[in-house]
Amino acid sequence: MADYSVLQNNFISGEIDPMLEGRLDSVKYQTGLRLCQNVLPTIYGALVKRPGTRYLASVGSLITKARIVLFDGGDDNRYIVEFTNNRMRFYAMDGSLVLHSGSTHEIATTYTDAQLDDLSCVMNKGVLYIVHPSHKPAKLEKTPTPPFTLTELTFTGGMTFSEAGDYPSTQAFKGGRWYLAGTTNNPNTIYASRSPDETGDRFLNFTFSESIDNVETVLPDHAFFLQETDMHGSRINWMINQKRIIVGAGRSIWMDSGEMATPSTFDMNVTLNTGASKVRPQAYQGFVIYAGTGGKTLNIIQYSQDSGGYVGTELSMTARHLLTAGIKEFTVTETQIGAVIWVLLENGSLLSCSLDIGNSVIGWARHPLGYGQDQNEMVVQSIDVVPGSEDEYDKLLLVVRRSGALFLESLSITIPDTLLQDSASPAYIDCHSYHYSVAGTDNVNVPYLGGEMVDAIADQAVLPVQEVSPLGDVTYDRTFMRINIGFPIEAKVTILRPELPSNGTSIGKR
């Protein structure tokens, strides 16, 4: 039998659906993998191993569920908001809890565990606006004392959103107006506040008309509402501002007319006859990324001047097998290797999609995080992104449940340009923390890892897997100055069967 040497030097498609394994002619097959785990496809065709997540804080063993949202008031005014059952806490970007009068600053809320995933949170001018179909709209502000203040909002005008059934489920800001939609009583109606005047924004003013010279008059700056009646029995699931107001409904995607929004000009038209789930969409460059019906697909759309509407494609077409659990939420990060969409599934699994539309790069991978003693307990509960700066790329924030405890972690995708192991180097260990001893030591104390089997890299050397004592102490048989310690990561890559020269196809032959 002849011997063949086969070269695959391009992996940009990442893991592909088993349904494509018969498509030997497809570029996706030729650049794809059967398994792509804890590595990331890059626009160059290479694969890079995913760096480990960094431990920021322990949420607590008594808390069963948490959701995180970035409070982004600017580079020096960013905090992580932690929503748990009827409670809100705050972290600085280094993972330290925000204090008030010497104690952890907490705010009591009426948001239950079951409602956290449906909170719509949008930042505008340094204020976090929060809406939910079972609660009055509220805003979270950074204040001198206490550090944060949560306020239930009171509206004026023809729509006050003050009664059960009238609470909105989705929101967007555009052109100085606050758009609210998706109430229980009017699931297909969009409301827009008054536009700004010389006094400032009027987000809480929903006055639709006023009497001028005893005549009821509608002015261009008045609030307005639009009820769509042809959504075929579906409802508005989300809104987003991407040059236009884009609306996702159960069976269609809508866009506004593009004119300056006034009571007489605002209108919506169907731009795509395809459904959208209630998963929050994301704006990225000139695109809108959203989850399809049932959260089983991930799609991307962009405005086309030629068609006068939005056109799009399914990003998950070649990897639908990865999304069978359904998308819970997703976010986009700009990294050293390009754009990466992080997708959190309903079962707590984490996926990535490396994306470069201009170079036709759509590469999927799965990312089971390092786990503790009980592998089945490792689930990701929530994700968000910290935008980068001129000197830094974006960071992914995660809440991860391991062995009954919740951890707040961050992830930065970097490619090492040195072998030196210091605090800035990417440690390929999950939930890791960095420790430094000037004099050198053979022991490190990591209480959050108590009772777990851990991996460690010390002074560029990989140490053997070791068990941490219940109190968090672990001792090694050598001294070191620098150590990164956490849960081990397992990276795996399996190639597809190549097509070899033969009498007919070689696939299926031995």
pLDDT grade, residue 234 (50/70/90)?
confident
- Ranges 79-93, 316-330, 373-387: which has the least confidence: 373-387
With beta carbons less than 8 A apart as the criterion, state whether 497 and 380 touch.
Answer: no
pLDDT value at 118 more than 60: yes
Q: What global pTM score does this model have?
A: 0.94
Asked if residue 482 belongs to a domain, the reply is yes
Asked if residue 437 belongs to a domain, the reply is yes
Separation in Å, CA 263 to CA 46, 224, 424, 452: 53, 5, 54, 61
* Residue 421, pLDDT score: 47
Percent pLDDT > 70 in the chain is 94
* Residue 419, pLDDT score: 43
Separation in Å, CA 141 to CA 67, 101, 145, 352: 18, 18, 11, 33
Higher pLDDT among residues 443 and 6, named by residue: 443
Q: How many CB atoms lie within 10 A of CB 338?
A: 19
Name the strand (E) or helix (H) holding 27: helix 27-30
Asked if residue 441 belongs to a domain, the reply is yes
Tokens 């959504």 belong to 231
pLDDT grade, residue 501 (50/70/90)?
low
* Residue 506, pLDDT score: 52
Asked if residue 460 belongs to a domain, the reply is yes
Domains of the chain: total: 1
Asked if residue 248 belongs to a domain, the reply is no
* Residue 424, pLDDT score: 47
With beta carbons less than 8 A apart as the criterion, state whether 137 and 168 touch.
Answer: yes
3-state secondary structure of 219: coil
3-state secondary structure of 78: strand
Average pLDDT over residues 18-44: 92
* Residue 22, pLDDT score: 84
pLDDT value at 356 more than 80: yes
pLDDT value at 144 more than 90: yes
Higher pLDDT among residues 26 and 34, named by residue: 34
pLDDT grade, residue 231 (50/70/90)?
confident
* Interval 271-295: pLDDT, tens: 999 999 999 999 999 999 999 999 9
φ, ψ (nearest 5 deg) of residue 117 = -65, -20
Average pLDDT over residues 196-218: 95
Structural domain including 476 reads 429-488
Long-range Cβ contacts of 389-393 (<8 Å, 24+ apart): 389/75, 393/333, 393/334, 393/335, 393/336
Amino acid at 128: L
Asked if residue 481 belongs to a domain, the reply is yes
* Interval 359-416: pLDDT, tens: 889 999 999 999 877 666 789 999 999 999 877 899 999 999 998 899 999 999 987 6
pLDDT grade, residue 41 (50/70/90)?
very high
* Residue 62, pLDDT score: 82
* Residue 96, pLDDT score: 96
Which residues share a beta bridge with 49?
39
List the helix and strand counts (H, then E) for the chain. Answer: 1, 45
pLDDT value at 461 more than 50: yes
Peptide bond into 41 cis (omega under 30): no
Asked if residue 451 belongs to a domain, the reply is yes
* Residue 301, pLDDT score: 95
Q: Please provide the average confidence, as pLDDT, over all residues in the chain.
A: 92
Asked if residue 483 belongs to a domain, the reply is yes
pLDDT value at 507 more than 80: no
Higher pLDDT among residues 420 and 36, named by residue: 36
- Ranges 416-425, 440-449, 472-481: which has the least confidence: 416-425
pLDDT grade, residue 61 (50/70/90)?
confident
In whole angstroms, what is the distance from residue 499 CA to residue 510 CA? 12
pLDDT value at 450 more than 70: yes
